[in-house]
Amino acid sequence: MHITAIITEYNPFHNGHLYQIEQIKKRHPEGKIIIVMSGNFAQRGIPCITDKYTRSEMALMSGVDLVLELPVVYATSSAEHFAMAAVGILHKSGIVDELCFGSETPHIETMQLLADLLLHEPESVSSHIKHLLSDGISYPQARMEALIKYVRDTQKTIPVYSEVLIDLLSQPNNILGLEYLKALKYYHSSIKPFALQRKTAHYHTIDVEGPIASATAIRHHITSQSPHKIEKAMPSSAFELLKPVIGKPITLDMASSLFHYKMIMSELEDLYAIWDVPKNLCHSLYHNAVTFKDLSDIIDRATSKTYTRATVQRAIIHLLLDIKEKDILAYKQLDYIPYIRLLACKQSARDVLSKLTKLSQVPIIINPAKAQSILDTTSQSLLNYELKASKLYALLAHDPGLVFKDFTYQPFRK
């Protein structure tokens, strides 16, 4: 049984995602497809357009066999931690043969060389990054500039033009692809990477002009009164599941009152313990919460050349969920992933689940209610963040039923 994996958000599922699944099935007609998917919050630090169970069903109805959850502490983190945890799930599952990811470039050999460079970062690159960060440049930009300078100076490691490097280090899917390759090397994984040239609109475009559109564009048009624009860019089954949220999307602004309450009830110094929230950014968010009513305004004020909008939004999610840096350090000691959580599985793919249960290096969690008897205290705390995230999402969605869905949802689907 050949098993191909995809790491994804499906926020929401669209025709570009369907194309990827179809290409995998062409390569391995008898194979199975599993995905590692973000839960209710996305990597840009925003609530997903619809809940994780609905998005899991979109995936199963479109050709995926089994869905595993990427814990929220990693799903709302930088590309490096996002990839390290997601690949960790696949590696520790013991069942994956191939990882397929979308890329804006055909230069897979160059990506492999860059991934080696990122995993074993030279001291000159590290020191240059620190220098650029001290000048107020964001980390992604600083890393790109430092790597390009290193390659130019050595002129041996990666024999390609600067323009190619800029493309590799600046396009969102290329960045994630590089991190996936780096993570595979970190785990010494036998999983083979396969980069699929993306057949979709540019990641950041908001135009929906044909059957292929970006998830960004679809999310943008969720608020419109022209659902047909979205419909043509999605499989019909996924669109039907998305219909209930068209015109009433869940946004980060819905957490404005919660964020203000969090800031009012907290001492600034206590917030420094939250993971991945630099002190300067923490200070900005804390004081702007007094001045501005909506989170969107607070985010606008905090966004700068040092802190990207996504960085600020992720910081807000971490503050709302009270994700402690000391906990993340403890999880890293466990190689990021101390358990694997099943979100959904086709009835016809129970053999995949059986194989997973047999070969996984870590416990498989199907119902969180039974996790306490399986997990140690540190591992349970990672799962607790996930349950807390579900409660926050349910509050933003004004859907109390979502709070209990972690315990009542039946993962086996037709």
Residue 314, annotated ligand binder?
A: no
CB 190 within 8 A of CB 204: no
How far is the CA of 87 from the CAs of 35, 95, 335, in angstroms? 11, 12, 11
Indicate if the pLDDT at residue 49 is higher than 70: yes
Residue 20, annotated ligand binder?
A: yes
Average pLDDT over residues 175-201: 91
The count of residues in the chain is 414
226 and 129 within one domain: no
pLDDT band for 161, please (50, 70, 90 cuts). low
Residue 12, annotated ligand binder?
A: yes
Strand-pair category, 66-70 with 340-346: antiparallel
CB 12 within 8 A of CB 49: yes
The tally of domains found in the chain comes to: 3
Residue 260, annotated ligand binder?
A: no
Q: Phi-psi region for residue 47, left (φ > 0), alpha (ψ -120 to 50) or beta?
A: beta
Q: CATH no. for residue 358?
A: 3.40.50.620
The structure tokens listed for 40 are 């209710």
Question: Poorest-confidence range of 12-16, 107-111, 125-129, 199-203?
Answer: 199-203
191 and 63 within one domain: yes
- Cβ burial of 408 (10 Å; 0-12, 13-18, 19+) is exposed
Nearest by Cα to 77 from 261, 284, 315? 315
194 and 91 within one domain: yes
Given 328, 356, 373, the domain boundary residue is 328
Q: What are phi and psi of 362, to 5 degrees?
A: -130, 165
Indicate if the pLDDT at residue 333 is higher than 90: yes
Residue 384, annotated ligand binder?
A: no
CA–CA distance, 83 with 187 (Å, rounded to integer): 12
The structure tokens listed for 34 are 């599993």
Residue 377, annotated ligand binder?
A: no
Question: Poorest-confidence range of 57-61, 153-157, 369-373, 396-400?
Answer: 153-157
Indicate if the pLDDT at residue 406 is higher than 80: yes
Q: What is the DSSP letter of 160?
A: S
81 and 20 within one domain: yes
187 and 305 within one domain: no
Average pLDDT over residues 322-349: 97
CB 13 within 8 A of CB 234: yes
Give me the pLDDT at residue 209, please: 57
77 and 207 within one domain: yes
Average pLDDT over residues 284-311: 93
Question: Poorest-confidence range of 14-23, 95-104, 241-250, 357-366?
Answer: 241-250
Does residue 41 fall inside a structural domain? yes
Could you count the other beta carbons within 10 Å of the beta carbon of residue 33?
A: 24
Residue 272, annotated ligand binder?
A: no
Q: What percent of the chain has pLDDT over 90?
A: 73
210 and 62 within one domain: yes
CA–CA distance, 75 with 83 (Å, rounded to integer): 9
Residue 413, annotated ligand binder?
A: no
Residue 8, annotated ligand binder?
A: yes
Does residue 94 fall inside a structural domain? yes
156 and 31 within one domain: no
Does residue 110 fall inside a structural domain? no
**Distance from CA of residue 39 to its chain's centroid?**
9
Does residue 113 fall inside a structural domain? no
81 and 215 within one domain: yes
Q: What is the 3-state secondary structure (H, E, C) of 40-84?
A: CECCCCCECCCCHHHHHHHHHHCCCCEEEEECHHHHCCCHHHHHH
Average pLDDT over residues 203-231: 64
Indicate if the pLDDT at residue 252 is higher than 60: yes
How far is the CA of 68 from the CAs of 42, 212, 373, in angstroms? 15, 26, 20
Where helices occur in 63-206 by DSSP H, the ranges are 72-75, 79-93, 108-119, 123-134, 139-154, 162-170, 172-186
Indicate if the pLDDT at residue 95 is higher than 70: yes
Does residue 38 fall inside a structural domain? yes
Given 298, 328, 358, the domain boundary residue is 328
Residue 55, annotated ligand binder?
A: no
Given 328, 361, 391, the domain boundary residue is 328
Does residue 281 fall inside a structural domain? yes
Average pLDDT over residues 88-102: 98
359 and 226 within one domain: yes
Give kind and range of the element (H or E) at residue 393: helix 377-397
* Count of helices and strands (H, E) across the chain: 21, 8
Give me the pLDDT at residue 205, please: 55
pLDDT band for 208, please (50, 70, 90 cuts). low
Does residue 197 fall inside a structural domain? yes
366 and 284 within one domain: no
CA–CA distance, 170 with 174 (Å, rounded to integer): 7
Give me the chain's average pLDDT, please. Answer: 91
CA–CA distance, 43 with 144 (Å, rounded to integer): 20
Q: pTM for the complete prediction? A: 0.93
Residue 187, annotated ligand binder?
A: no
Say which residue, 337 or 233, is predicted with more confidence.
337
Which amino acid is present at 276? Answer: D
Residue 165 belongs to domain spanning: 118-170
Residue 174, annotated ligand binder?
A: no
pLDDT band for 232, please (50, 70, 90 cuts). confident
In this structure, what is the dihedral angle of CA atoms 217, 219, 222, 223, given to the nearest 10 degrees? Answer: -90
184 and 261 within one domain: no
Residue 10, annotated ligand binder?
A: yes
